[in-house]
Amino acid sequence: MKKLACFSKVPVLVLSFVLLTFSSMVYAEETYATFKIDNKVFKLKDVALEYNATDNFISLRAEKMETVVITTEEGEEETDMSVGMAFELDLKPKSPEGKYESSSPETIPVSFWWYDMDNDLNEFYISLDGGDESSRKFAITIDKFGEAGSMVSGSFQGVLLDESGKTYKITDGKFCAKRVDTE
């Protein structure tokens, strides 16, 4: 009787192994970009990362569209709003993993955009453009960079400016996206 009880645990162990393996494969394929702007949390799932091997250059864009209801003089109206981020980066030759830092939009073109609905609809756009170069900075770390079709992951943080020169702090930035090669 004890032999039969021990033997019956084998299918349960095999099934558990299969489920754990499958769930980790699904998780490994998830694309995302998450970050905080002045402690407001953003989570984006529509992330595209393109790599140009000729120029050794990547472009990442993460964006989501949301429908919001705003009140106008004529009544309530639905409008589509975008939340997102984008950056471009020249990679180090032969070893793209590592940290990249800049305070210049020519070195790392980067932008974030979002909205809030406090009393009115307020739209925000921040980047490395404008203002005093000493008050802005952005850093990207590429943790994993594999072959075409593999997942590229990393982190980012910085201080960016809006058009009026107001600073916004980006913290806890992380991304994971499938590498798509372009020409």
pLDDT tens per residue across span 8-60: 554 444 444 444 444 444 445 699 999 999 999 999 999 999 999 999 999 99
* Average pLDDT of span 92-97: 87
Rg (CA), the chain: 22
Mean pLDDT of 61-73: 90
CA angle 138, 140, 146 (to 5 degrees): 160
**Per-residue model confidence (pLDDT) at position 128:** 94
pLDDT of residue 136: 93
Least confident stretch, 15-29, 96-110, 112-126 = 15-29
Q: In terms of pLDDT, which residue wins out, 67 or 71?
A: 67
Q: Tens of pLDDT along 129-166? A: 987 788 899 999 999 999 999 999 999 999 999 999 99
Q: What is the mean pLDDT of the chain?
A: 86
Residues sharing a CB contact under 8 Å with residue 109, sequence separation 6 or more, in sequence order: 86, 87, 88, 127, 128
Q: What is the pLDDT of residue 9?
A: 53
Sign of CA dihedral 52, 53, 55, 60: positive
Residue 120's pLDDT is 79
The H or E element that residue 160 is part of is strand 151-161
